[in-house]
């Protein structure tokens, strides 16, 4: 396995951020941050992963407040910050899993990295809901299921886009990547 050391391509870093913009219009605060964190961890360096997820969060917030008319009140702003923290937590969780299991089967590694990102992201949301209120609504079974399957579907789509980009020569191949 090779170690990922080459710098990110700014053009390719824009692909997940562009997806964030599309998802923000479609899903608002149901943004698939776990999927973005997992893919960013598999594809980019630490700095690149945090940059992609951070820019995606900024795009999500701009769209929410500017275009989707989120209310400008303290609770909405606090939840926006909590979403940002949860997005960064997704990268931390994904990196932890990727570093603990570098030599497993590719498919198992992708699934494990995604699961760790999702659990870390949802854990951060759970902690925020304890502080900000909303545990019963944010963690209703239907909401958790919706967030899980939208993240899982987005992760699969992102992996597909990464594969297409790698075949086209504009993105790195995920074959043999080890995140350090």
The mean pLDDT of the chain is 85
Measured CA to CA in angstroms, residue 3 lies from 6, 48, 74 at distances of 9, 15, 44
- Return all residues near 27 (Cβ < 8 A) that are at least 6 apart: 150
State yes or no: pLDDT of 78 exceeds 60: yes
95-150 pLDDT, tens digit per residue, is: 999 999 878 888 999 999 999 999 999 999 999 999 998 777 778 888 889 899 99
């Amino acid at each position: 396995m090779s170690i990922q050391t080459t710098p990110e391509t700014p053009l390719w870093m824009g692909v997940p951020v562009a997806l964030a913009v599309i998802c923000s219009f479609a899903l608002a605060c149901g943004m698939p941050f776990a999927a973005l964190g997992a893919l960013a961890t598999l594809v980019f360096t630490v700095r690149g992963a945090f940059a992609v997820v951070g820019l995606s969060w900024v795009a999500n917030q701009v769209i929410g407040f500017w275009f989707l008319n989120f209310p400008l009140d303290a609770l909405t702003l606090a939840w926006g910050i909590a979403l940002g923290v949860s997005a960064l937590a997704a990268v931390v969780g994904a990196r932890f899993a990727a570093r603990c299991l570098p030599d497993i089967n590719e498919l198992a590694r992708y699934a494990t990295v995604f699961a760790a990102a999702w659990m870390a992201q949802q854990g951060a949301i759970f902690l925020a809901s304890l502080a900000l209120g909303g545990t019963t609504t944010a963690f209703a079974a239907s909401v958790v299921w919706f967030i899980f399957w939208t993240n899982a579907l987005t992760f699969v789509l992102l992996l597909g886009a990464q594969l297409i980009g790698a075949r086209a020569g504009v993105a790195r191949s995920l074959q043999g990547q080890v995140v350090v």
